Structure 1
């Protein structure tokens, strides 16, 4: 693990390659899984407000689930998550003509209906935020359904942290992201045996 601004980072963020490939996965992350998307405590009011603004964009099944269970629910771990449609897809999921799952909350944001895009857990995926006693941690979450994204990332040579430059900058700031670039350079130089001392010597 690497510490940046009191946040612990998994080295996998600098090692794994990842670029979402919706043509291949069809937005499976909105559909698969046994629980909804994590919602932070400071997001519950935002998702409640956004629901009213994007309700007309959602599918009848999704609206029914939200009206029944609420804009967010508490899962078996005691965490806030989005509700599911009969234990399947996220209630905020919409499908385009090709059958690709997309986020109704994000669609509302793109249309200018809301000022809040979607839960940060979705924006930051495949990074998951861990909450330790004294620190946060940022970890790479590996999921079989994201194999196309790993293949696409490898083909394009895009590391996880760079794929998520926008969401990471939004949450933690530009200075934090710049430190990630510096960490990546150090790790790359270390791997290549190019770490330099002040006198210019290398190891």
Structure 2
């Protein structure tokens, strides 16, 4: 672990490799698990704002889930998340013609209909950020459904921090990322 500004960062994001392998996993992270994608407070407002634009991209099950539960939910622990369809798929999941899970929000972004790519927790994955009073912890989240992504990352020699560069800059800023690169260079020596 090392400190960058107000973050404590796990060395795993420098030392471990990762590149999403959608052809192997079919987007399992969006349809497996027991919870929706973690959301920041500001993102709940964004989801409400963009829902009318994203709605045409959604599956009917996703629309029904969102219209029943809302564009986001608050768990018993007070955590903010995307709603699920019948406790499984994220309500914002759509599928391509190969049955690979994709994000309707990201699809609307890719088509130029909105200017927000997707929740930061999704964009950062497999990096997870846990906020505390004085700092944020930046960690690698190991999940067996991503074993193919780890294998591809190792094959291509892409460390996690490079795979999620755009998302890390979006979350922490360009200067933070430059400092992360300096730490990575030092650790590789």
Q: Give the Å deviation of 1:90.
A: 0.2
- For residues 17-48 of structure 1, give each alpha carbon's deviation from its aligned partner in whole angstroms, at most 9, with x where no partner exists: 00000000000011001010001001111011
Contact (CA 8 Å) 1:131, 1:137: kept in 2 or not? yes
Contact (CA 8 Å) 1:17, 1:154: kept in 2 or not? yes
Q: Give the Å deviation of 1:133.
A: 2.5
Contact (CA 8 Å) 1:22, 1:100: kept in 2 or not? yes
Aligned to 1:148: 148
| Distance (Å, rounded) in 2 between the aligned partners of 1:182 and 1:156 | 21
Structural mapping, 1:50-89, within 5 Å: 50-89=50-89
Contact (CA 8 Å) 1:62, 1:91: kept in 2 or not? yes
User: 1:160 aligned to 2:157?
Assistant: no
| Distance (Å, rounded) in 1 between the aligned partners of 2:132 and 2:46 | 25
Contact (CA 8 Å) 1:94, 1:102: kept in 2 or not? yes
| Distance (Å, rounded) in 1 between the aligned partners of 2:21 and 2:71 | 28
Contact (CA 8 Å) 1:127, 1:140: kept in 2 or not? yes
Contact (CA 8 Å) 1:35, 1:75: kept in 2 or not? no
Aligned to 1:175: 175
Question: What CA RMSD, in Å, does the superposition of the two structures yield over aligned residues?
Answer: 0.8
User: 1:15 aligned to 2:15?
Assistant: yes
| Distance (Å, rounded) in 2 between the aligned partners of 1:147 and 1:51 | 33
Runs of 4+ in 1 over 6 A off after TM superposition: none
Instruction: State which structure, 1 or 2, has the greater radius of gyration over its C-alpha atoms.
Output: 1
Gaps of 5+ in 2: none
| Distance (Å, rounded) in 2 between the aligned partners of 1:77 and 1:162 | 33
| Distance (Å, rounded) in 2 between the aligned partners of 1:171 and 1:34 | 25
Structural mapping, 1:97-136, within 5 Å: 97-136=97-136
Gaps of 5+ in 1: 190-203
User: 1:38 aligned to 2:30?
Assistant: no
Q: Which secondary structure does the structure 2 equivalent of 1:33 belong to?
A: coil
| Distance (Å, rounded) in 2 between the aligned partners of 1:26 and 1:76 | 30
Relative to the length of structure 1, the TM-score reads 0.91
| Distance (Å, rounded) in 2 between the aligned partners of 1:186 and 1:132 | 27
| Distance (Å, rounded) in 2 between the aligned partners of 1:75 and 1:142 | 23
- For residues 165-197 of structure 1, give each alpha carbon's deviation from its aligned partner in whole angstroms, at most 9, with x where no partner exists: 1111122222111111110111111xxxxxxxx
